[in-house]
Structure 1
Amino acid sequence: MGCAMNEWNQLLSFAQQTSLGDVPPEVVARAKLILLDSMGAIIHGNQTEEVRQFATMHAASDGVPVLGLSILVPEVIAAMANAQGMVSQELDEGNVYAKGHPASHILPALLAVAYRQNSAGAPFLESFLLGYEISARLGHAIRLKPAIHPHGNWAMVGGSLAVGKLLGWTGEKLAQALAMSASLPMVSLWENAFHGHRIRDVYVGVVNAVNTLVPSLVSAGYTASLNGFQAIFDGILGEGLDWEKAVSRLGSEYFLMKNYFKELSYCRYCHSPIEAVAALIQQESIDWKTVRRIDVYTYRAAAQLNRQTVENAFAAKFSIPAAMADWLCQRYPELDAEALAKKIFVHEDAAIEAKLPAERNSRVVVTLSDGTVLSHYQVGAKGDPQHPFQEDDVKQKLLDLAGPVIGRDRCFRLIDVCLNIERHDVDYLIRLCIGP
């Protein structure tokens, strides 16, 4: 469909005219849970050696904290480092309808700018929520080319909107902030994830860095066209952009409510097949050493994750055979992960594909050496809208991820601050997350 400025104007008007008080309480509550979950993912992920080294190289006597570390860096580096840490362990939230990870493209830059602006919690939360909503809607409207990973492209528009909203921008100035970021997406390839290259994390880092710079670029007089977004996602990085999907039921239906939280440290496409295996374990007594083969049937995008041999542990997060074998070996240490992965075969299933986007399902068929065949059909995965995390699940995940870094006492304070962010400021939120 052609690019219609009418749709962009609808999205901009919604973002400018909507305040936190206009948003249904359950949506505000979910935004707070996403904030809490994301803080845990950042603190935990920033212990990754690459993030530590990157932050240390840019350490300064004054600046913005890198969460989970005791390092101050310039604002742009803080946004970049915290973003790279947030996605580094595949534990950040995502969105079923957006087909990607809105929060990781918004929160790190927004935190850095809000810290420098001494922002109160309420406008910070409002900006995050509205930036997320716009990002999720654009992600839903776009169909990326199969080779393009959703990191570092469409969701960055919500990041610039959130930053602009926090700064009080309206009208043409806010429109230019969106146009600027919409013109600067990354050409992010699945190929790098499949082969275990952490440039895949840097895609998200770069767009957060860009969104800390967008205010000064716009203020300096640089301009861009919103029409560029259409050209990029309806021909270069994408195969189609349906603007009606971006604005349908805007203000009455919140795509933020279609987010998911992650329990397993693998690409989301691996979760449903692994949970199918977990269900079989509950139902049957299986000697996994006697497995002849495991066939996984899933939707097209997930079926790309079919490599049976991977280069490293990071690549294993983007392979259904390697991730499933790793998960099984954690429970049955006597198994050989590499040998088991070579027995796992992934297939595209048209009937499962047809269930998208509401359900991301899988069917797993286990064939044993004696000819026994066991099968389970799994609807989605834990954390999906069909199997939602409860508030206590998100709290426990925060304790598990951040507790070893900042201690349980500070974790409990962080939980209280995130769930009552309107009564606090961003400076206090961030200082709770500084590492030892």
Structure 2
Amino acid sequence: MSSTVEAVARLGAWGAGLRWADVPDAARDRLALVLLDSLGVTVVGARQAEQRALARAWRPGPGPAPLVGGGTTTTVEAAAWLNATAMARLELDEGHKYARGHPAAHGLPAVLALAADLGAPGPETAAALLVAYEVAARFGRATTLRAGAHPHGSWGVAGAAAGCARLLGLPADGVAAAIDAGTGLPVAGHFASALDGNPVRDAWLGASNLSGLSAARMAAAGVARNTGTPAVSLGDVLGRFDPAPLTDGLGTRWDVRLGYFKRHAACSFTHPAADAALLVRADGLDLDAVEEILVETHSLAAGLGRTTWDSRLAALFSTPFVVAAALVHGTVDPAVSAADRRDDPRVRALAARVVLRVAPDLDARLPDERAARVTVRAAGAPSRVVEVPNPVGDAAHHPMAEGDVLALLGRLLDADTVRTVHAVATGLAESADVAPDLRRLAEI
């Protein structure tokens, strides 16, 4: 327990002391790109009928924080929750293979909502966003959840707490206390909810952002303490916890540079298989002649083999659906999982021929690689095998630059919206008061 207290104290001191001017250019540039992607996919999510219905049911009251793409401003708490769920709505949000989850979505909405309320300067907001990301990613590295647990809403609360505490200007012990309190507020979600297409999975990210805000405010009030909570909440209760990754390379390794952007609207575990399927499709393939599609993958993706689905979310967590959609449509954009297209008989028929299997040689390459090998067997033709080491968009495999992210958003949003999101994301760190800039996001 004492080692956890010490590690959280060091992390708190680092977060409280971080100055934007001292952050290396490469990390600053990458954070701007993460912010661009995050805000863009939040707008895409906010425009979905399900998210609009949720916002109406929420009846958000007036306030200073924008509902990104939602047409209004509201309270900090409502904005943090609803923007987080919109960001995750279509499985397009940025992720991190070493954290085994999504650091950005766990805390960036809370920090941005609080910054709009405080009228925070750009450098302070950028530093707080970076603290939120780095702390969340380190807690993801430090936590090994029990089998079957979903990562949303558990270790990432620490990042939301740290980022909000940093934005509130708390000293080192205050940031550490906020982190500790945040780790005492995790969600114990099961992966089956995602596989079943239950949107409660999105709500876990809303809960993370709201809990992080609460933890930071507890620390600001002096009613939070650093007592080693993550060792028992993330460790004894939810899995195993090793405090060493919290401080490994602190200040020299920037986890924000090691994440991945998504070009497919689907669970990241399906992406390598989708990329391989698209390569097969590009060479020409008679879909009617396909007899079997064998997808070999790593153990993290073992549970995504369902060949039936009854909702968009369930489809996005089905490797057979994603591979079949890629082969039929040549894309896995949100449109292919919408109600009018996800039951395409060609996709259903092809998905029924997909077999998912864990390959020991691919599993051994975790965590540096999330590989997939796709073998297509078709009548009258030799088997075709394509293997990819990581999904396109991973920092280590065809990484996306700003132009790539803008092109992705350009397929999903109108040009004026993309220009506004780009202007806010790239100009935020230089703004004297981020509130007016952020409120522009409510108007798009």
Q: Same fold (TM over 0.5)?
A: yes
Deviates more, 1:131-140 or 1:56-65: 56-65
> Does the CA contact (< 8 Å) of 1:185 and 1:207 recur in 2?
yes
Deviates more, 1:326-335 or 1:203-212: 326-335
Q: How many residues align?
A: 430
CA–CA distance in 1 between the matches of 2:307 and 2:264?
A: 19
In structure 1, runs of 5+ residues without a counterpart are none
Residue of structure 2 equivalent to 1:38 = 38
1:255-310 C-alpha deviation (Å, 9 max, x unpaired): 1111111111000011100111112223x432111111111111101121111112
Question: By how many angstroms is 1:61 displaced?
Answer: 4.0
> Counterpart of 2:386 in 1: which secondary structure?
strand
1:349 equivalent in alignment to 2:335? no
Deviates more, 1:172-181 or 1:268-277: 172-181
1:268 equivalent in alignment to 2:280? no
CA–CA distance in 1 between the matches of 2:381 and 2:20?
A: 59
The one-letter code of the counterpart of 2:259 is N
> Does the CA contact (< 8 Å) of 1:414 and 1:429 recur in 2?
no
The one of 383, 394, 401 equivalent to 1:390 is: 401
User: Kindly tell me: are residues 170 and 220 of structure 1, through their superposed partners in 2, closer, same or farther at Cα, counting changes over 3 Å?
Assistant: closer
1:8-407 to 2 correspondence within 5 Å?
8-56=8-56, 57-223=58-224, 225-238=226-239, 240-282=240-282, 284-331=283-330, 336-370=346-380, 372-385=382-395, 386-403=397-414
The one-letter code of the counterpart of 1:100 is G
> Does the CA contact (< 8 Å) of 1:64 and 1:116 recur in 2?
yes
The one-letter code of the counterpart of 2:438 is I
User: Kindly tell me: are residues 381 and 125 of structure 1, through their superposed partners in 2, closer, same or farther at Cα, counting changes over 3 Å?
Assistant: same
> Counterpart of 1:152 in 2: which secondary structure?
coil
Question: By how many angstroms is 1:63 displaced?
Answer: 4.1
The one-letter code of the counterpart of 1:286 is L
User: Kindly tell me: are residues 288 and 148 of structure 1, through their superposed partners in 2, closer, same or farther at Cα, counting changes over 3 Å?
Assistant: same
User: Kindly tell me: are residues 435 and 399 of structure 1, through their superposed partners in 2, closer, same or farther at Cα, counting changes over 3 Å?
Assistant: farther
CA–CA distance in 2 between the matches of 1:411 and 1:281?
A: 30
Residue of structure 1 equivalent to 2:422 = 415
The one-letter code of the counterpart of 1:329 is V
Residue of structure 1 equivalent to 2:338 = none
> Counterpart of 1:4 in 2: which secondary structure?
helix
User: Kindly tell me: are residues 168 and 360 of structure 1, through their superposed partners in 2, closer, same or farther at Cα, counting changes over 3 Å?
Assistant: same
CA–CA distance in 2 between the matches of 1:416 and 1:48?
A: 23
> Counterpart of 2:441 in 1: which secondary structure?
coil
Over the matched positions of the two proteins, sequence identity in percent amounts to: 29
> Does the CA contact (< 8 Å) of 1:58 and 1:77 recur in 2?
no
> Does the CA contact (< 8 Å) of 1:58 and 1:73 recur in 2?
no
User: Kindly tell me: are residues 59 and 130 of structure 1, through their superposed partners in 2, closer, same or farther at Cα, counting changes over 3 Å?
Assistant: closer
Deviates more, 1:101-110 or 1:172-181: 172-181
In structure 2, runs of 5+ residues without a counterpart are 332-340
Deviates more, 1:218-227 or 1:67-76: 218-227
> Does the CA contact (< 8 Å) of 2:304 and 2:318 recur in 1?
yes
1:140-168 C-alpha deviation (Å, 9 max, x unpaired): 12222221111111011011100000110
> Does the CA contact (< 8 Å) of 2:42 and 2:69 recur in 1?
yes
Deviates more, 1:416-425 or 1:350-359: 416-425
> Counterpart of 1:305 in 2: which secondary structure?
coil
The one-letter code of the counterpart of 2:289 is T
CA–CA distance in 2 between the matches of 1:187 and 1:200?
A: 11
> Counterpart of 1:260 in 2: which secondary structure?
coil
User: Kindly tell me: are residues 117 and 359 of structure 1, through their superposed partners in 2, closer, same or farther at Cα, counting changes over 3 Å?
Assistant: same
CA–CA distance in 1 between the matches of 2:18 and 2:61?
A: 38
Deviates more, 1:223-232 or 1:20-29: 223-232
